[in-house]
């Protein structure tokens, strides 16, 4: 018969409790250690990211913008008179010359005024001719009177000479000689007065004819004005080029007032590029800077010729000339892409432009380490920027490789693995 030993049972119970406590402690330590382990870095396919090497050397700063080709010379053709559009001769897109009739207008009142001015001009010319005939008759009559006075004077002078010769011989009394002299002097005075009267009549004739001529010129000017206005009812292009569509087209039958634009003509052989540059990039653009205009069928060199002082919808309008021959298909309103060269930097540390990089800012890039197997997040200071490159001021060295792609999906990780 076995007898139970209480001391051994208690000993086994203590050992079980001790093992349980040790197990709990070990499990807690393992849990704590596991919780403190960093998560494994995510893997990124190397073929899906853009990797570039930091280099030192020259860098060209450029800015880029989209835009269109616009004509340098554009002319709005206004209606010179009130009228109604009765016929459209040419449609938008057609080639026109300076004297091409674009559309025809009608204004019966203006035509009636032209006829009235024509009759007024003819009446003024008739009055002039009638006045000239009357004045010419007066001049002729005065010439005849003067001729008679000169003839009488000449006869008296001959008689005086004869009396003076006879008086020397004592054949003519002194009284008769004085009478002859008085007669000769009186006729001389009459002749001079008739001569002065002729000059006065001639001067009066010139003044009256000049006044009548002025009335003719006034009537002619009014008639010519109405004639030009009637001729302007046939609206002409006034410029060799292409007829363009107006923002508000003019329809046949529409009544328009003088000064209303009824057509728009542009010279398609003289174009410029009108680029829209982001206001953050446009601050360094200056007149005369070289540019390249990509028309998608060819690249044309140019230069900056105008910078709009205003900002519209976050962009600045920059006009660039086209200094080379236009490629085939170049026409107004053609979409283009322009690149303006700001400056050339001789020796700087630079790399391709990362996504969302701005000038004079600090960004974070993944730099390749461990032979390119992994990449760690690195703070990089950016200086001046270009279209495809940025200047590196700090955080990277020459030869470093960085990921330039948008890595916002890995914002929660400081290290990634490349596979």
pLDDT for 238: 86
Residues in the chain: 419
Which H or E element spans position 118? helix 108-168
**95-96 and 234-236 strand pairing:** unpaired
User: With pLDDT > 70 as the criterion, what percentage of the chain qualifies?
Assistant: 93
Asked whether 114 and 202 are in contact (CB, 8 A), the reply is no
pLDDT at 354 over 70: yes
Convert the pLDDT of each residue in 290-335 to its tens digit. Answer: 999 999 888 999 999 999 999 998 999 999 999 988 888 888 888 9
Least confident piece of the model among 105-119, 339-353, 404-418 = 404-418
For residue 254, what are the contacts with CB-CB under 8 A and spacing of at least 6? 84, 85
Q: At what angle do helices 108-168 and 174-231 cross, to 10 degrees?
A: 170
Helix, coil or strand: residue 7: helix
The DSSP letter of residue 312 is B
Residue that has been written with the tokens 């052989």 in this structure = 269
> Which residues share a beta bridge with 235?
103
Asked whether 91 and 193 are in contact (CB, 8 A), the reply is no
pLDDT at 34 over 60: no
> Which residues share a beta bridge with 74?
266
**Average pLDDT, integer, range 233-246:** 87
The DSSP letter of residue 268 is T
What is the pLDDT of the chain when averaged over all its residues?
A: 86
pLDDT at 4 over 60: no
For residue 60, which of 348, 381, 300 has the smallest C-alpha distance?
Answer: 348
CA distance 242 to 265: 6
Question: pTM of the entire structure?
Answer: 0.58
pLDDT for 1: 43
CA distance 91 to 248: 14
User: With pLDDT > 90 as the criterion, what percentage of the chain qualifies?
Assistant: 39
pLDDT at 217 over 60: yes
Select the more confidently predicted residue: 20 or 395.
395
- C-alpha distances (whole Å) from 68 to each of 267, 272, 349 are 15, 8, 35
pLDDT at 129 over 90: yes
CA distance 297 to 333: 15
- C-alpha distances (whole Å) from 226 to each of 98, 124, 233, 259 are 22, 17, 11, 17
pLDDT at 37 over 50: no
For residue 241, which of 87, 80, 99 has the smallest C-alpha distance?
Answer: 99
User: Most confidently modeled of 6-10, 144-148, 305-309, 356-360?
Assistant: 305-309
Confidence of residue 391 (pLDDT cuts 50, 70, 90): very high
User: Most confidently modeled of 103-107, 180-184, 196-200, 294-298?
Assistant: 103-107
**Average pLDDT, integer, range 147-172:** 82
Q: What is the DSSP string of 146-204?
A: HHHHHHHHHHHHHHHHHHHHHHHTT-S-HHHHHHHHHHHHHHHHHHHHHHHHHHHHHHH
**Average pLDDT, integer, range 164-170:** 79
**Average pLDDT, integer, range 192-197:** 89
Q: What is the DSSP string of 209-266?
A: HHHHHHHHHHHHHHHHHHHHHHHTTEEE--SSEEEE--SS---TT-EE-TT-EEEEEE
CA distance 54 to 46: 18
């Amino acid at each position: 018969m076995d007898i139970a030993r209480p001391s051994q049972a208690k000993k086994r119970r203590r050992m079980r409790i001790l093992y349980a406590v040790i197990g709990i402690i070990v499990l807690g330590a393992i849990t704590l250690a596991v919780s403190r382990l960093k998560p494994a870095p995510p893997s990124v396919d190397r073929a899906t990211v853009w990797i570039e090497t930091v280099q030192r050397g020259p860098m060209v700063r450029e800015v880029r913008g989209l835009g269109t080709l616009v004509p340098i010379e554009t002319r709005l053709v206004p209606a010179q008179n009130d009228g109604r559009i009765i016929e459209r001769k040419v449609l938008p897109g057609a080639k026109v010359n300076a004297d091409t009739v674009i559309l025809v207008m009608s204004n019966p009142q203006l035509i009636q005024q032209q006829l009235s001015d024509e009759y007024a001009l003819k009446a003024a010319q008739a009055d002039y001719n009638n006045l000239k005939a009357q004045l010419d008759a007066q001049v002729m009559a005065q010439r005849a009177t003067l001729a008679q006075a000169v003839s009488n004077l000449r006869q008296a002078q001959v008689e005086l000479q004869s009396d003076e010769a006879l008086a020397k011989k004592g054949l003519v009394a002194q009284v008769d000689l004085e009478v002859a002299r008085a007669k000769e002097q009186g006729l001389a005075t009459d002749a001079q007065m008739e001569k002065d009267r002729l000059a006065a009549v001639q001067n009066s004739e010139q003044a009256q004819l000049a006044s009548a001529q002025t009335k003719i010129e006034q009537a002619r000017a009014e008639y010519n004005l109405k004639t030009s206005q009637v001729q302007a009812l046939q609206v002409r292009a006034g410029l060799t080029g292409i007829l363009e569509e107006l923002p508000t087209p003019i329809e046949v039958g529409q009544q328009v007032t003088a000064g209303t634009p009824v057509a728009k003509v542009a010279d398609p052989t003289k174009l410029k590029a009108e680029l829209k540059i982001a206001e953050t990039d446009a601050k360094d653009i200056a007149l005369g800077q070289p540019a390249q205009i990509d028309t998608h069928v060819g690249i044309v060199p140019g230069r900056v010729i105008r910078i709009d002082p205003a900002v519209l919808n976050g962009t600045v309008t920059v006009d660039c000339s086209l200094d080379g021959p236009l490629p085939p298909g170049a026409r107004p309103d053609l979409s283009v892409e322009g690149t303006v060269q700001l400056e050339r930097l001789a020796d700087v540390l630079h790399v391709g432009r990362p996504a969302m990089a701005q000038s004079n800012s600090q960004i974070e890039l993944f730099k390749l380490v461990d032979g390119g197997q992994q990449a760690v997040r690195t703070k990089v200071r950016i200086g001046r920027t270009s279209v495809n490159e940025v200047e590196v001021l700090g955080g990277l060295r020459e030869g470093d490789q960085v990921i330039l792609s948008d890595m916002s999906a890995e914002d929660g990780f400081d290290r990634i693995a490349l596979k």
